[in-house]
Structure 1
């Protein structure tokens, strides 16, 4: 006997979350976890590399620019798209935004890279005093 599918469940949906300490050494762990999981889910290798770079940039920004103790990451794959969310606990000096640093500046290009590599991206408040969620969508 075959049971009917649950209403609203997408058979192609794949989702995973993980949380790591807000430390520089966690950035490599985050990007490797994302790459490995997406590869296991059958996402094309070139798209896995793109997602790996996106996770790395967003996670590094949260480590560098917030006072978080822990940082969370969500990977959501459905309908030919990958949504990456990085949630911090802390507060930014300001809301993350796209910058255009001069040629001599060593930092400030991370969100330019995100802008180039993704279909869309944005920043949402996780709630008053609860940090931010920076998300990006990659088409696979």
Structure 2
């Protein structure tokens, strides 16, 4: 994917893997981009031959991570990296902005309408985490799904 000047780049996975499949895209940090991100991820994973059930799970993970980046950062663009290798799917969503704090798993009261996105990520994935993209460069929130 060619990126225009002033946009971010996403790092690729480390090492060489002969069965690696990888897709990178970025979208405006706007609510309408969430649907585009989840649809792109779903379609690409289907094209790579993953089961529809696994693709639906990945679509939901992308949707939650992208939504969090739209709602909780001051980014202009949000990047997404999907890769499949070694019988796992890794999803990374990178923002340009800053969070009020680093994303953490929280446990809202039953009457609260928000705050369950990372609980959902926790239940759907084998692992997830947050990394700094560098001083003032935002965060990378990643998740791993094993089909």
TM-score (normalised: structure 2): 0.89
Structure 1 spans left out of the alignment, 5+ residues = 1-7
Cα deviation for residue 49 of structure 1 reads 0.3
CA distance in 1, matches of 2:83, 2:132: 19
Q: 1:22 corresponds to which residue?
A: 29
Q: Deviations over 1:51-102 (max 9, x none)?
A: 0000000000000000000000000100110000000000000000000000
> Aligned runs of 1:31-110 on 2, under 5 Å?
31-110=38-117
Q: Work out the number of aligned pairs and report it.
A: 133
Q: 1:126 corresponds to which residue?
A: 133
CA distance in 1, matches of 2:18, 2:49: 14
Structure 2 spans left out of the alignment, 5+ residues = 1-14
CA distance in 1, matches of 2:52, 2:86: 17
Q: Deviations over 1:89-121 (max 9, x none)?
A: 000000000000000000000000000000000
Cα RMSD (Å): 0.8
Q: 2:20 corresponds to which residue?
A: 13
> What secondary structure sits across from 1:59 in the alignment?
helix
Largest Rg, 1 or 2: 1
Structure 1: which 4+ aligned runs deviate by more than 6 Å? none
